Amino acid sequence: MMKKFEELTVSINDSDVKNDNQPVFLKAFEETEDILGALNNEDFEDDLLEGIEESISQFIFQIFTGIFSIHYELPDGFTFEINDVFPFIKDDDLLFDYNVEEQVNDFRAAALLQAKMDQFIHYVNMDEHVNALYSTTSIYLDAKHAAYEQWHHKTGEFFQYVDRENAYGQGLYQ
């Protein structure tokens, strides 16, 4: 069913908006050729929503967008990716910055936070009009696709875009 899933950088054509690097997740469906997307970051200087509203008044393109300004991530101190900064567990009690007890307490607090979130989702879902869940970009895009809203689309390019301060690019060709 899914033809392709790729990450692409897109900025809106609006001289008043200086957009930060916004990964857009694109998913194309064979039957409809609809393209769905979600902006991952907000604008680094200006309010991106205002820029998008101004730009959409110029054209509506065939990318559904939503801003995930607050990303879900592991609690502070528990992201163990290669390039992440996290406190090492220092288990030698002769070290001045021995932190085993602190790390264990933080981990227990993170587990409690997760349990509270599960409980919160349970009670929110008691309202039959709401379906709260731990989600992914794929689930969001599938829901947008299932709504099957028809939109006009922009053809051509998004010309003069900014992906960081004082970094202007030319053209994103479709």
Tell me whether residue 17 is in a domain. Answer: yes
Domain total of the chain = 2
Phi, psi of 122 (to 5 degrees): -55, -50
Give the pLDDT of residue 163.
Answer: 63
Phi, psi of 23 (to 5 degrees): -60, 135
Same-domain pairing of 67 and 105 = no
Same-domain pairing of 67 and 142 = yes
Please give the mean pLDDT across all residues of the chain.
Answer: 63
Tell me whether residue 120 is in a domain. Answer: yes
Confidence band of 141 (pLDDT split at 50, 70, 90): confident
At 27-55, the pLDDT tens digits run 333 333 333 444 444 444 444 455 555 55
Domain membership of residue 154 as a residue range? 2-72+136-169
Give the pLDDT of residue 125.
Answer: 93
Same-domain pairing of 88 and 149 = no
What is the token pair recorded at 165? 């301060």
Same-domain pairing of 141 and 116 = no
Give the pLDDT of residue 127.
Answer: 92
Name residue 4's beta-bridge partners: 28
State how far the Cα of 64 lies from the Cα of 35, in Å rounded to an integer: 7
Give the pLDDT of residue 71.
Answer: 58
Task: Tell me the CA distances in angstroms from 173 to 6, 84, 158, 162, one per residue in order.
Answer: 15, 34, 7, 15
User: What residues contact 77, with CB distance under 8 A and at least 6 apart?
Assistant: 86, 87, 103, 106
User: What residues contact 85, with CB distance under 8 A and at least 6 apart?
Assistant: none
The predicted model gives 144-171 an average pLDDT of 68
At 93-140, the pLDDT tens digits run 898 989 899 888 888 888 888 888 899 999 999 998 988 888 887 887
Give the pLDDT of residue 35.
Answer: 39
Tell me whether residue 56 is in a domain. Answer: yes
The predicted model gives 131-153 an average pLDDT of 80
State how far the Cα of 45 lies from the Cα of 163, in Å rounded to an integer: 11
User: What residues contact 17, with CB distance under 8 A and at least 6 apart?
Assistant: 11, 43, 46, 48, 50, 51, 52, 54, 55, 162
